[in-house]
Structure 1
């Protein structure tokens, strides 16, 4: 692990998590919980196996992750965030919220996964009407599905499809995430390919977190 060689807490933090792919590995472990090596590879399209191995060893040496053998009959190693690793979560949330301003354009070679849709909905939106009855919003972006549940003033998400959602938003990631993140309004999202079915009024209830 390379070092900036500076007696500064920001530099020291970047010594640990500043290399390419490192924070995305932490993201996957936050979203998935204990993971096999193959799970992490699937969640990190484009990473070379040898580089993933190197980054995992570095994170383990820095005390951010632990590894242990899965219980029988599964013969594999599971990687999990340590307490120090889990402490990175608010940093990732703040970084992700700051990064939303760069999401206006979707590059042709960008990959997309349902977990990224789910965490963005839970981390970067709020229920603006906490006293309203529970509601279910189905999100589908590039074929990846996630469910948003509004109840008790909280936003909860899970992967998959709801049996009877109140509203369905289906379209390219740029349109779905752009609408949820406040980057585009509903009319523009529809122009970008978003299909909306159901209670459109719920979009006024699910509001983006104000960026810092």
Structure 2
């Protein structure tokens, strides 16, 4: 397949030849979060992309060793998309983009789309276990349809897809902009309800991990 190129003998330009096209890094974002995903679920996490364009982008990324196709394990059927080992090396790139873009969230268009699982990327580096001697707990943001679990234990935090067989100790829901502010420490937990944030379950779960509580 023909690939547009900057035609420069420069590693930054070569990287952009592969992942610099519109949607490519957001495809990587989805696969970093969801790990293995069907085409329809991938498209649902990329509102605004046309199916034929997604097919084209996935093909380009596959040809460049970033994405692979897996066959679902029985009894499931069909194809699943995932990052290759080379593709997973973009984790640090996406993480730095998330950090760099965080201050611009407040200036996003008022009709900007939000999906809860996108919040898992900033949660990975903003939320820390400040009480390592406390019992392990799972904090769920959203629900299994669109969300993630924050597993807190022994001084560590890990972001995982929602486990259907797990009962979270606390569940957090709310508007995207408010939740971003909460995770960044700009909105205090004590006043979170005024911003539309709801926390159900263990009352001491979020204070354990929020930056504003440390």
Mark the CA change 1:140 to 1:115 in structure 2 (over 3 Å): closer, same or farther. Answer: closer
Q: CA deviation at 1:91?
A: 1.3
Aligned twin of 1:45? 47
Aligned twin of 2:113? 111
Mark the CA change 1:169 to 1:29 in structure 2 (over 3 Å): closer, same or farther. Answer: closer
Decide which of 103, 108, 126 is 1:124's aligned counterpart.
Answer: 126
Q: Give the 5 Å matches for 1:4-43.
A: 4-43=6-45
Decide which of 81, 84, 89 is 2:83's aligned counterpart.
Answer: 81
Equivalents in 2 of 1:68, 1:195: separation in Å? 38
Equivalents in 2 of 1:149, 1:103: separation in Å? 26
Scaled by the length of structure 1, what TM-score is found? Answer: 0.80
Contact 2:140 2:162 in 1 (8 A): no
Gapped runs of 5+ residues in structure 2?
none
SS of corresponding position for 2:135: coil
Question: Would you say 1:175 and 2:178 are equivalent positions?
Answer: yes
Equivalents in 2 of 1:67, 1:140: separation in Å? 28
Aligned twin of 1:148? 150
Deviates more, 1:72-81 or 1:29-38: 72-81
1:8-57, Cα deviation, whole Å (9 max, x unpaired): 21111111111110011111122222333222112211100111111111
Contact 1:139 1:176 in 2 (8 A): no
Equivalents in 2 of 1:206, 1:136: separation in Å? 11
Mark the CA change 1:136 to 1:29 in structure 2 (over 3 Å): closer, same or farther. Answer: closer
Equivalents in 2 of 1:151, 1:77: separation in Å? 34
Aligned twin of 1:193? 196
Contact 2:129 2:157 in 1 (8 A): yes
1:129-159, Cα deviation, whole Å (9 max, x unpaired): 3233323434349x95543231111113342
SS of corresponding position for 1:103: helix
Equivalents in 2 of 1:138, 1:68: separation in Å? 28
Scaled by the length of structure 2, what TM-score is found? Answer: 0.79
Decide which of 192, 205, 208 is 1:205's aligned counterpart.
Answer: 208
Gapped runs of 5+ residues in structure 1?
none
